[in-house]
Amino acid sequence: MRLLTLLVGSLLLVVAVVVALLLTPELGDVGGKPHEQFSTMASGGSGSARHANVLWLGGLFGAASLVFFVALMAFGARKGASLRGLGRPLAASLVICLAFWVWLLVSYARTMDGGTVSFFGALPGPSAIMLYGFFPVTILFNLLYVIGFNRWILTEEDYQEYKRLVAERRGRSA
Amino acid sequence: MNELRNPIILGSVVLYMILCIVVGLWAMRRTRSAKDFFMAGRELGIMITGIAIFSSTMSGFGFVGGPGLVYSLGMSSVWMVITVSTSYAAADFLLGKRLRLFAGAFDCISLPDAVAARYGSEATRFLTAIAILLGILGYLATQTLAMATVLQSILVGTGYFPAVSLITCVVISSSVLVFYCVTGGILASVYTDMFQGAVMVVGGFLVFLTTLYVFEGGATAAVATILSDDAEAAGPWGTLGMIGCLSWYFMFTVGAAGQPQILTKGMMIERVQNYRWVPLVTVLGYTLTALLWVSIGLVMRALVLAGAHPELASADAAAPAFLQQYAHPVLAGIVFAGLFAAIMSTADSFLNIGAAALVHDIPRALTGRSLTHELFWARIGTVAIAVFAALFALYSYYANARLVALLGAFGWGTFGAALVPVIGIGFNWKRATPLAASVAITISLVLNFTIEVFDIRLPHNIHGGTVALLASMTIFFLISFLSPPPVLDPDVEALMEI
């Protein structure tokens, strides 16, 4: 029941943030503008001009989405037993993702006014955090699935129970 | 070697098509029933399931549209790429095991079959099948058009067929696709996916390596050129902006648990315990393939900005232009074959899923029983859907260009909004009711169509599919909470306890 509360609660939080965003006035070239020289390209213009009033609401959108994703994952784990074993690693992975998410936001906020940009791995700092930091840590969720499959997804007892159920069904229909 | 570029490309594509036909003939001998045709006899191994999942997700859009998006919008579409980890994780946790358990216990041969078993409702099966048919129509027409356009440009490029028409190219490429899908069903589809996935991974990785050396000064200089022209384009949100990117991230992550081409493959794995390893294959395969998406787009944008390459005629020309100009002829051949592989591996999945909805689920929902000679009708249904998609693609190309783009653009959002609540949530929550499922599907279709047909632009570039998905999930929960608890089949209840 607590898991369902977390799932529905985080969904409603995402809905509330999206509604708030829909009601927030647009500033500057929100969705970019045509490139001055090349018609097949767009350009973003000033980051601070278009993101000034949505940066932290957008930050909340990203954070609430991550919580919702993790709630979905926990909701899909096996139902027969306590989630204590899975809860901690999932929560720890979520915290790491949120830390990288905040780092990405702060890094972008510092450079969106045109501040000095440092490069890492051929990308400017904020993009490098997104591609080489935030993205790889989200792979933790896939690894948790693989590592904990026999404990949190399908135990041997679950499988035996399943086989019994299938055999019983076949017996009934025969 | 460069003078052989076009013959090499044509040769690679012809070789690839011959291989697809051979696989179709091989699979025909192993396809003896509707279960074989739609579920590959539920005998797939880990590698083949994993590769089939990622290769049917990475369509022609990833090889052509993806680089085009990076070229025109900068880093924005990278948010679609990096959902690979969270989207597969959410879909795997929610449904990887559970759908396979339902498929085995209830002998399901399609996704709507599993939905009917879960909800005990033929109306929900019918609506699920309709949502699938509507979603695949756009996807298939887009893929058909993409296959024909690429084939036409290759044939014209060789100089041997300077006046080949688009209709001829639709006929050639669709014939190959239909041949192996009709003869071998999903078995041919997944085994060609295996080969197609391998070509895509190799092509994607080699292209990425090539892009590192095309721009003078390397990748850092290329990105610095983009940055100095427009800092936002090289920033984490690209030119689309933060909220638009995050709405993509949400929709692509959560929407994965409603994509029939992904979910159906999971129902085919031989041993449910083997599903454990599938995410490793899918995430790694998709990531390697997506290197092409990001790297070509960035390099082509930098080359044009620096004046080292003329401006492209359209953003979608980024990948073909890069391959024609900068890739080694053999690599260009591999990647063009990979492009066909990406398109066909998506199209074959949708053909099979659509045929199942048409000849298995809709008749069952309406009459309560399957068609006699279901395998025969499955083959007829596959041809019918392919012909309809080809005609639809040609009609929209010559008469109404917006039609295919319209349906193709909202495919992922349609499946996500319609099926995530019903399947992703509903298969894990006993309190979910058939009424909630039917209303969620209907609302999602109405919302998605309204937003797309009337071309409604939401503030801050929030994607319409995200709003439809949030609305359908919220309504699904609300109606289920307000309805009396459903009485479940004891076997369904037992399966949902696992």
Distances (CA, A) of A167 to A163, B44, B104: 6, 22, 11
Shortest distance, CA A32 to any CA of chain B (angstroms) = 5
Task: Give residue B363's pLDDT band: very low, low, confident or very high (50, 70, 90).
Answer: very high
B241, A11: Cβ pair inside 8 Å? no
Compute the mean pLDDT over every residue in chain B, rounded to the nearest whole number: 90
What's the pLDDT tens digit per position in B259-282? Answer: 999 999 999 999 999 999 999 999
Measured between CB atoms, does A13 come within 8 Å of chain B? no
Task: Give residue B113's pLDDT band: very low, low, confident or very high (50, 70, 90).
Answer: very high
By C-alpha distance, which of B172, B152, B168 is closest to B160? B152
Q: Residue B189 has what pLDDT?
A: 84
Interface test with B, best of A5, A97, A149, A157 (most B CBs within 10 A): A149
The distance from CA B429 to its chain's CA centroid, rounded to whole angstroms, is 27
Percent of chain B clearing pLDDT 90 (strictly above): 57
Residues 6+ apart with CB under 8 A from A105: A55, A56, A59, A62
Q: Residue B36 has what pLDDT?
A: 85
ipTM of the complex: 0.96
Q: Residue A94 has what pLDDT?
A: 97
Q: Residue A101 has what pLDDT?
A: 98
The token pair that represents A162 in the structure block: 């399943």
Chain B contacts in chain A segment 98-157 (CB below 8 A): 104, 108, 111-112, 114, 117, 119, 122-124, 126-127, 129-131, 134-135, 138-139, 141-142, 144-146, 149-150, 153-154
φ, ψ (nearest 5 deg) of residue B235? -80, 175
Better-scored residue on pLDDT, A172 or A164: A164
The DSSP symbol for A43 reads E
Q: Residue B403 has what pLDDT?
A: 58
What's the 3-state SS for chain B? Answer: CHHHHHHHHHHHHHHHHHHHHHHHHHHHCCCCCHHHHHHHHHCECHHHHHHHHHHHHCCHHHHHHHHHHHHHHHHHHHHHHCHHHHHHHHHHHHHHHHHHHHHHHHCCCCHHHHHHHHHCCHHHHHHHHHHHHHHHHHHHHHHHHHHHHHHHHHHHHHCCCCCCCHHHHHHHHHHHHHHHHHHHHHHHHHHHHHHHHHHHHHHHHHHHHHHHHHCCCHHHHHHHHHHHHCHHHHCCCCCCCHHHHHHHHHHHHHHHHHCHHHHHHHCCECCHHHHHHHHHHHHHHHHHHHHHHHHHHHHHHHHHHCCCCCCCCCHHHHHHHHHHHCCCHHHHHHHHHHHHHHHHHHHHHHHHHHHHHHHHHHHHHHHCCCCCCHHHHHHHHHHHHHHHHHHHHHHHHHCCHHHHHHHHHCHHHHHHHHHHHHHHHCCCCCCCCHHHHHHHHHHHHHHHHHHHHCCCCCHHHCCHHHHHHHHHHHHHHHHHHHCCCCCCCHHHHHHHHC
Chain B contacts in chain A segment 79-98 (CB below 8 A): 79-80
Q: Is A154 helix (H, G, I), strand (E, B) or coil?
A: coil
Q: Which of A9-13, B55-59, B78-82, B87-91 has the lowest mean pLDDT?
A: B55-59
Q: Residue B243 has what pLDDT?
A: 96
A114, B97: Cβ pair inside 8 Å? no
Measured between CB atoms, does B478 come within 8 Å of chain A? no
Report the pLDDT averaged over residues B332-338: 84
Q: Residue B1 has what pLDDT?
A: 66
Interface test with B, best of A123, A147, A161 (most B CBs within 10 A): A123
Number of domains chain B is built from: 1
Sign for the pseudo-dihedral over CA of A59, A62, A68, A73: negative
- Rounded-to-10 torsion of CA B292, B293, B294, B295: 30
Report the pLDDT averaged over residues B248-255: 95
Domain span including residue B289: 2-398
**Whether B109 contacts B34, CB under 8 Å:** yes
Percent of chain B clearing pLDDT 70 (strictly above): 97
pLDDT at A82 over 70: no
pLDDT at B33 over 80: yes
Report the pLDDT averaged over residues B412-422: 92
3-state helix, strand, coil in chain A (%, to 5): 70, 5, 25
Task: Give residue B236's pLDDT band: very low, low, confident or very high (50, 70, 90).
Answer: very high
Task: Give residue B409's pLDDT band: very low, low, confident or very high (50, 70, 90).
Answer: low
Task: Give residue A172's pLDDT band: very low, low, confident or very high (50, 70, 90).
Answer: confident
Q: How many CB atoms lie within 10 A of CB A16?
A: 12
Report the pLDDT averaged over residues B354-358: 93
pLDDT at B130 over 80: yes
CA distance B96 to B92: 4
Task: Give residue B66's pLDDT band: very low, low, confident or very high (50, 70, 90).
Answer: confident
Report the pLDDT averaged over residues B412-418: 89
| Region label for B486, one of left (φ > 0), alpha (ψ between -120 and 50) or beta (otherwise) | beta
Task: Give residue B21's pLDDT band: very low, low, confident or very high (50, 70, 90).
Answer: confident
What's the pLDDT tens digit per position in A16-58? Answer: 999 999 999 998 788 889 999 999 999 998 888 899 899 999 9
Better-scored residue on pLDDT, B30 or B85: B85
Task: Give residue B407's pLDDT band: very low, low, confident or very high (50, 70, 90).
Answer: low
Q: Report chain A residues whose CB lies below 8 A from the CB of B248.
A: none
Measured between CB atoms, does B196 come within 8 Å of chain A? no
CA distance A76 to A79: 8
Q: Which of A6-20, A119-133, B372-386 has the lowest mean pLDDT?
A: B372-386
What's the pLDDT tens digit per position in B145-193? Answer: 888 888 887 888 778 888 889 899 999 988 988 888 888 888 888 888 8
φ, ψ (nearest 5 deg) of residue B268? -95, -10
Task: Give residue B401's pLDDT band: very low, low, confident or very high (50, 70, 90).
Answer: low
Measured between CB atoms, does B234 come within 8 Å of chain A? yes
* Placement of tokens 């299938």 in the chain: A166
Q: Which of A62-71, B170-179, B338-347 has the lowest mean pLDDT?
A: B338-347
Measured between CB atoms, does A41 come within 8 Å of chain B? yes
Q: Residue B419 has what pLDDT?
A: 96
Instruction: Out of B39-48, B169-178, B470-479, give the one with best mean pLDDT.
Output: B470-479
Q: Residue A83 has what pLDDT?
A: 64
Better-scored residue on pLDDT, B194 or B487: B487
Q: Residue B400 has what pLDDT?
A: 65
Q: Residue A28 has what pLDDT?
A: 79
Measured between CB atoms, does A35 come within 8 Å of chain B? yes
The token pair that represents B395 in the structure block: 């009609």
Q: Domain-by-domain residue ranges, chain A?
A: 1-76, 82-174
Q: Residue B430 has what pLDDT?
A: 94
pLDDT at A79 over 90: no
By C-alpha distance, which of B74, B93, B79 is closest to B231? B74
Report the pLDDT averaged over residues A62-91: 87
Q: Report chain A residues whose CB lies below 8 A from the CB of B220.
A: 119, 122
Instruction: Out of A37-41, A94-98, B44-48, B320-324, give the one with best mean pLDDT.
Output: A94-98
Shortest distance, CA B461 to any CA of chain A (angstroms) = 6
Task: Give residue B406's pLDDT band: very low, low, confident or very high (50, 70, 90).
Answer: low
Task: Give residue A1's pLDDT band: very low, low, confident or very high (50, 70, 90).
Answer: low
Q: How many CB atoms lie within 10 A of CB A170?
A: 11
pLDDT at B93 over 60: yes
Model-level pTM?
Answer: 0.93
CATH code, B212: 1.20.1730.10
